[in-house]
Structure 1
Amino acid sequence: MLAALAVDAGRPVPVEALIERVWGADPPEGARRALYAHICRIRRLGEEQDTGGRGRLPVLRRPGGYQLDLDPDAVDLRRFRRLVALARVSGQPRDRQAALLRESLALWRGEPLAGLRGAWPARVREAWRRRRVDAAVRLADLEVHSGDPAAVAQQLRDLLDEHPATESVAEALMHALYMAGDGAEALRCYAQLRHRLAEELGAEPGHGLRELHRRILLGRPPRGALYMPSASADPDTDARTGSVGQFLLAD
């Protein structure tokens, strides 16, 4: 229940949305009464425990719902989202964008909503995984031209191990490998991804990846920035928090 409130810290959440987040699309009889009991429990926990110097965790009644009256920056991925948005503001120096993205990615210390089951936590996890990948690819694109492309390539290898069929990661890795002078490894990366996509999805790599592959074969430098944000609906934000993590475990 605290997770369902924390993802929208500082904003009211309708009772119906809380019920769906906690019990799914087919809630049991008495779900509304159980919700009120959970709210009371969270209020007691907030009164009994300090939240890392940020004060208590008041749950406020709002028309039609409840609101966790907490600074959104106390929720790691709400802060992540804000930092990524700042990095996207046009006209900023590349080093400033990179610094903001590094700060945002440093907030990832585990899986969002770890241990929570159900459709809503799964949707949130997947949406925020995509956001993390987008930020990491964007950072790699910034760093490959201003730092050590071989080091960037190693970071991207690790990311591709986590997301082996994600084209944006493979494309960024190919770019970094080529810029590091290892075009042969970039071509092997393409071949491996193409095989995986064919085996698992019955699909071919997208246009951007095919074009990068063609340019590497011809020995031409990759064009411009590779980063393109995932086209995904704005998710219900996550509930991985630093200061309220102990309460999430309790509920």
Structure 2
Amino acid sequence: MDWVNLVWLLLLAGAAAYVQTLTGFAFGLLMMAGVGMLNLIPLTDAAVVVGILTLVNAVQMLARGWREVAWDQFRLIIGPSLVLLFGGYFLLEYLADTNLDGLRLTLGLVIIVASIQLSLQPHPRKQLSRPQSFVVAGGLAGILGGMFSTAGPPLIYHMYRQPLPHAAIRQTLVLVFAINAMLRLVLVVGSGNWPGQTALWGVVAAPAVMALTYAARRWPPPLSPLAMRRVAFFLLLLSGVFLAIPALLNLIGVSP
């Protein structure tokens, strides 16, 4: 990676951490969308960098908030999430070797659907959903986490429908994402696919994540939470479109 791409990576990491701190979601999605759109590093390597930075963000948040985790729901989610993470990871490896444009199109569509889904602002239920629904949401999150280190959309949507305190929802999600990220990094090492020097960019970008997380807490912008969420949704939608369209045109044999 040259210095120009490194600067872009640092800007992406900082911006994603800033939005994540203000809205409670979108770190992995924004990072993967930006990396894929700018073609900074291969998507398989980008997923490793996102995993490292997800752990940095999680440590900051859980250091104070781990007591607020909704443990009953966490136990339902984490098992299927970890099991299906294996399938998502090996599906990514297969697509990366056989169909790069298909992989980019898949990621773009995931980001587009996620941006639309998360903008719906689900209303909380009056009662907790059935235990099976947490199992299903955890499994879907595991597949996306294994493929792209972006486990958020199905789990965020489901958890925010529950009649639970906002802090409990946020900390539960952060803990699930952190454990998924750790397992995924172990899989990368165990399968011999550790990206070497590329992974160091995750360490290099960690101070940007920490600094922008602090800045978002200390000096939030003069925007309402709803306005910030709308900005995040719009950025996600645009990045997904610009990532998916060139890949689709390549797949159908039309030069973008």
Q: Structure 2 length as normaliser, TM-score?
A: 0.26
Larger radius of gyration between Structure 1 and Structure 2:
1
Q: Structure 1 length as normaliser, TM-score?
A: 0.27
Q: Comparing both structures, which one devotes a greater share of its residues to helix? A: 2
